[in-house]
A and B are shown apart, each in its own frame.
Chain A
Amino acid sequence: GENVEQHPSTLSVQEGDSAVIKCTYSDSASNYFPWYKQELGKGPQLIIDIRSNVGEKKDQRIAVTLNKTAKHFSLHITETQPEDSAVYFCAASIEGNTPLVFGKGTRLSVIA
Protein backbone atom coordinates (compact mmCIF):
# COMPACT_ATOMS: atom_id res chain seq x y z
CA GLY A 1 0.00 0.00 0.00
CA GLU A 2 0.85 3.66 -0.07
CA ASN A 3 3.43 5.09 2.31
CA VAL A 4 3.96 8.83 2.78
CA GLU A 5 7.08 10.25 4.41
CA GLN A 6 7.10 13.88 5.56
CA HIS A 7 9.93 16.09 6.77
CA PRO A 8 10.95 17.98 8.70
CA SER A 9 8.91 17.03 11.75
CA THR A 10 9.44 20.50 13.25
CA LEU A 11 10.26 23.79 11.56
CA SER A 12 10.84 27.23 13.06
CA VAL A 13 11.03 30.32 10.88
CA GLN A 14 11.13 34.06 11.46
CA GLU A 15 8.02 36.01 10.54
CA GLY A 16 8.24 37.06 6.91
CA ASP A 17 10.53 34.19 5.90
CA SER A 18 9.50 31.25 3.72
CA ALA A 19 8.77 27.72 4.92
CA VAL A 20 9.09 24.53 2.88
CA ILE A 21 7.73 21.12 3.85
CA LYS A 22 8.53 18.04 1.75
CA CYS A 23 6.78 14.71 1.28
CA THR A 24 7.56 11.56 -0.66
CA TYR A 25 5.13 8.82 -1.62
CA SER A 26 5.63 5.23 -2.65
CA ASP A 27 2.72 4.30 -4.92
CA SER A 28 3.25 5.61 -8.44
CA ALA A 29 -0.50 5.20 -9.08
CA SER A 30 -1.34 7.94 -6.55
CA ASN A 31 -2.75 10.98 -8.32
CA TYR A 32 -4.17 13.25 -5.61
CA PHE A 33 -2.07 15.15 -3.07
CA PRO A 34 -3.77 17.44 -0.53
CA TRP A 35 -2.24 19.46 2.28
CA TYR A 36 -3.99 20.03 5.59
CA LYS A 37 -3.38 22.49 8.43
CA GLN A 38 -4.35 21.51 11.95
CA GLU A 39 -4.59 24.06 14.72
CA LEU A 40 -4.77 23.15 18.39
CA GLY A 41 -8.11 21.64 19.35
CA LYS A 42 -9.38 21.51 15.77
CA GLY A 43 -9.56 19.00 12.96
CA PRO A 44 -7.33 19.21 9.88
CA GLN A 45 -8.37 21.89 7.40
CA LEU A 46 -7.68 21.51 3.69
CA ILE A 47 -5.48 24.39 2.51
CA ILE A 48 -4.47 23.32 -0.98
CA ASP A 49 -4.40 20.23 -3.18
CA ILE A 50 -2.81 19.16 -6.43
CA ARG A 51 -3.52 16.44 -8.92
CA SER A 52 -0.96 14.53 -10.93
CA ASN A 53 -1.80 16.24 -14.19
CA VAL A 54 -0.45 19.51 -12.77
CA GLY A 55 3.11 20.30 -11.71
CA GLU A 56 2.45 23.36 -9.58
CA LYS A 57 -0.47 25.17 -7.98
CA LYS A 58 -0.54 28.47 -6.13
CA ASP A 59 -3.05 30.16 -3.86
CA GLN A 60 -1.90 33.53 -2.51
CA ARG A 61 1.03 32.81 -0.14
CA ILE A 62 0.75 29.04 -0.49
CA ALA A 63 2.08 26.92 -3.33
CA VAL A 64 2.49 23.20 -3.91
CA THR A 65 4.82 21.51 -6.38
CA LEU A 66 4.70 17.92 -7.58
CA ASN A 67 7.46 15.82 -9.14
CA LYS A 68 5.84 12.58 -10.35
CA THR A 69 9.10 11.07 -11.54
CA ALA A 70 10.75 11.43 -8.16
CA LYS A 71 7.46 10.83 -6.33
CA HIS A 72 7.71 13.83 -4.11
CA PHE A 73 5.68 16.98 -3.50
CA SER A 74 6.28 20.08 -1.44
CA LEU A 75 4.39 22.86 0.30
CA HIS A 76 5.79 26.37 0.13
CA ILE A 77 4.53 29.16 2.38
CA THR A 78 5.90 32.63 1.65
CA GLU A 79 5.84 35.72 3.88
CA THR A 80 4.98 33.62 6.91
CA GLN A 81 2.82 35.10 9.65
CA PRO A 82 2.30 34.02 13.29
CA GLU A 83 -1.14 32.65 12.36
CA ASP A 84 0.59 30.16 10.04
CA SER A 85 1.85 28.36 13.16
CA ALA A 86 0.19 24.94 13.19
CA VAL A 87 0.79 21.30 12.27
CA TYR A 88 0.77 20.62 8.54
CA PHE A 89 0.01 17.23 7.00
CA CYS A 90 0.55 16.00 3.48
CA ALA A 91 -1.42 13.08 2.08
CA ALA A 92 -1.69 10.95 -1.04
CA SER A 93 -4.31 8.73 -2.63
CA ILE A 94 -5.69 7.35 -5.86
CA GLU A 95 -8.57 9.77 -6.08
CA GLY A 96 -12.00 8.18 -5.75
CA ASN A 97 -10.44 4.77 -5.19
CA THR A 98 -8.15 4.53 -2.15
CA PRO A 99 -8.33 6.43 1.16
CA LEU A 100 -5.95 9.27 1.93
CA VAL A 101 -2.66 8.17 3.50
CA PHE A 102 -1.14 10.91 5.63
CA GLY A 103 2.39 11.89 6.49
CA LYS A 104 3.28 12.20 10.18
CA GLY A 105 3.01 15.99 10.16
CA THR A 106 5.26 19.04 10.48
CA ARG A 107 4.92 21.43 13.41
CA LEU A 108 5.57 24.90 12.03
CA SER A 109 6.36 27.72 14.42
CA VAL A 110 6.52 31.27 13.08
CA ILE A 111 8.45 33.51 15.43
CA ALA A 112 7.40 37.15 15.51
Chain B
Amino acid sequence: KAGVTQTPRYLIKTRGQQVTLSCSPISGHRSVSWYQQTPGQGLQFLFEYFSETQRNKGNFPGRFSGRQFSNSRSEMNVSTLELGDSALYLCASSLELNSPLHFGNGTRLTVT
Protein backbone atom coordinates (compact mmCIF):
# COMPACT_ATOMS: atom_id res chain seq x y z
CA LYS B 1 0.00 0.00 0.00
CA ALA B 2 1.40 3.41 -0.95
CA GLY B 3 2.23 5.79 1.86
CA VAL B 4 1.27 9.43 2.29
CA THR B 5 2.30 11.37 -0.81
CA GLN B 6 3.12 15.06 -0.65
CA THR B 7 3.77 17.27 -3.64
CA PRO B 8 5.89 19.08 -4.46
CA ARG B 9 8.93 17.95 -2.44
CA TYR B 10 10.62 21.33 -2.70
CA LEU B 11 9.36 24.86 -3.30
CA ILE B 12 11.08 28.20 -3.46
CA LYS B 13 8.87 31.27 -3.22
CA THR B 14 9.32 34.99 -2.74
CA ARG B 15 7.93 37.03 0.15
CA GLY B 16 4.38 38.14 -0.52
CA GLN B 17 3.54 35.25 -2.84
CA GLN B 18 1.15 32.46 -2.00
CA VAL B 19 1.64 28.71 -2.17
CA THR B 20 -0.49 25.57 -2.25
CA LEU B 21 0.77 22.24 -0.96
CA SER B 22 -0.89 18.93 -1.75
CA CYS B 23 -1.30 15.72 0.22
CA SER B 24 -2.68 12.33 -0.82
CA PRO B 25 -3.37 10.14 2.23
CA ILE B 26 -2.93 6.40 2.45
CA SER B 27 -5.76 4.69 0.61
CA GLY B 28 -8.76 4.30 2.90
CA HIS B 29 -7.57 6.85 5.43
CA ARG B 30 -10.18 9.48 6.19
CA SER B 31 -8.31 11.87 8.49
CA VAL B 32 -5.54 14.24 7.40
CA SER B 33 -3.41 16.45 9.64
CA TRP B 34 -0.81 19.07 8.77
CA TYR B 35 2.26 20.01 10.79
CA GLN B 36 4.97 22.63 10.35
CA GLN B 37 8.49 21.53 11.28
CA THR B 38 11.28 24.04 11.96
CA PRO B 39 14.59 23.62 13.81
CA GLY B 40 13.57 26.13 16.47
CA GLN B 41 9.95 25.23 17.12
CA GLY B 42 9.92 21.54 16.25
CA LEU B 43 6.68 20.00 15.03
CA GLN B 44 3.72 22.34 15.37
CA PHE B 45 0.14 21.41 14.57
CA LEU B 46 -1.61 23.34 11.79
CA PHE B 47 -4.95 21.64 11.06
CA GLU B 48 -6.82 18.37 11.15
CA TYR B 49 -9.52 17.31 8.69
CA PHE B 50 -11.96 14.43 8.77
CA SER B 51 -14.59 13.80 6.11
CA GLU B 52 -13.99 17.24 4.58
CA THR B 53 -14.54 19.02 7.92
CA GLN B 54 -11.88 20.86 9.86
CA ARG B 55 -11.88 19.41 13.37
CA ASN B 56 -8.97 21.19 14.95
CA LYS B 57 -6.84 24.20 14.11
CA GLY B 58 -3.49 25.15 15.56
CA ASN B 59 -2.28 28.56 16.65
CA PHE B 60 -1.30 29.93 13.24
CA PRO B 61 -2.41 33.18 11.55
CA GLY B 62 -5.29 33.25 9.11
CA ARG B 63 -2.80 33.27 6.21
CA PHE B 64 -2.64 29.51 6.72
CA SER B 65 -5.67 27.65 5.43
CA GLY B 66 -6.52 24.18 4.30
CA ARG B 67 -9.21 21.95 2.96
CA GLN B 68 -10.02 18.30 2.39
CA PHE B 69 -11.76 16.89 -0.65
CA SER B 70 -14.33 14.10 -0.89
CA ASN B 71 -11.58 11.62 -1.87
CA SER B 72 -9.73 12.55 1.37
CA ARG B 73 -6.95 14.34 -0.47
CA SER B 74 -5.99 17.60 1.21
CA GLU B 75 -4.39 20.90 0.34
CA MET B 76 -3.01 23.68 2.45
CA ASN B 77 -2.50 27.24 1.33
CA VAL B 78 -0.28 29.96 2.71
CA SER B 79 -0.91 33.48 1.47
CA THR B 80 1.32 36.55 1.70
CA LEU B 81 4.40 34.47 2.46
CA GLU B 82 6.88 35.65 5.06
CA LEU B 83 10.50 34.62 5.56
CA GLY B 84 9.48 32.87 8.77
CA ASP B 85 7.20 30.52 6.84
CA SER B 86 10.26 28.66 5.57
CA ALA B 87 9.85 25.17 6.97
CA LEU B 88 9.17 21.53 6.26
CA TYR B 89 5.41 21.04 5.97
CA LEU B 90 4.32 17.55 6.90
CA CYS B 91 1.05 15.87 6.12
CA ALA B 92 -0.13 12.83 8.06
CA SER B 93 -3.10 10.56 7.59
CA SER B 94 -4.95 8.14 9.82
CA LEU B 95 -7.64 5.55 9.20
CA GLU B 96 -9.99 7.03 11.75
CA LEU B 97 -9.80 9.82 14.33
CA ASN B 98 -8.45 7.48 17.00
CA SER B 99 -5.94 5.73 14.76
CA PRO B 100 -2.16 6.27 14.58
CA LEU B 101 -0.82 9.04 12.37
CA HIS B 102 1.33 8.14 9.37
CA PHE B 103 3.45 10.94 7.95
CA GLY B 104 4.56 11.78 4.43
CA ASN B 105 8.08 12.97 3.65
CA GLY B 106 7.02 16.59 3.58
CA THR B 107 7.29 19.63 1.35
CA ARG B 108 10.33 21.80 2.01
CA LEU B 109 9.25 25.44 1.51
CA THR B 110 11.89 28.14 1.26
CA VAL B 111 10.78 31.79 1.23
CA THR B 112 13.32 34.31 -0.04
Contacts and interface: CB of A to CB of B under 8 A. Distances in A.
Contact of A100 (B4, B101, B104): B101
B24 to A, nearest CB: 14
B104 A98 contact: no
Interface stretch (B13-21, B40-48, B70-78): B40-48
Contact of B56 (A49, A98, A102, A105): A98
A46 B102 CA distance: 7
Given A34-B101, A46-B101, A99 B43 contact: no
A97 B31 CA distance: 12
Given A34-B100, A44-B90, A99 B56 contact: yes
Contacts of A32: 98
B4 A43 contact: yes
B103 A45 contact: yes
Interface residues of A, number: 22
Contacts of A102: 35, 42-43
B25 interface: no
B95 to A, nearest CB: 12
B105 interface: yes
Interface residues of B, number: 21
B43 A96 contact: no
Interface string A38-76: 000111111001000000000000000000000000000
Contacts of A96: 96-98
B55 to A, nearest CB: 9
A42 B6 CA distance: 11
B58 interface: yes
B66 interface: no
A32 to B, nearest CB: 8
B105 A99 contact: no
A6 to B, nearest CB: 9
Interface of B: 4, 33, 35, 42-43, 45, 48, 56, 58, 90, 92, 96-98, 100-106
Interface of A: 32, 34, 36, 41-46, 49, 89, 95-105
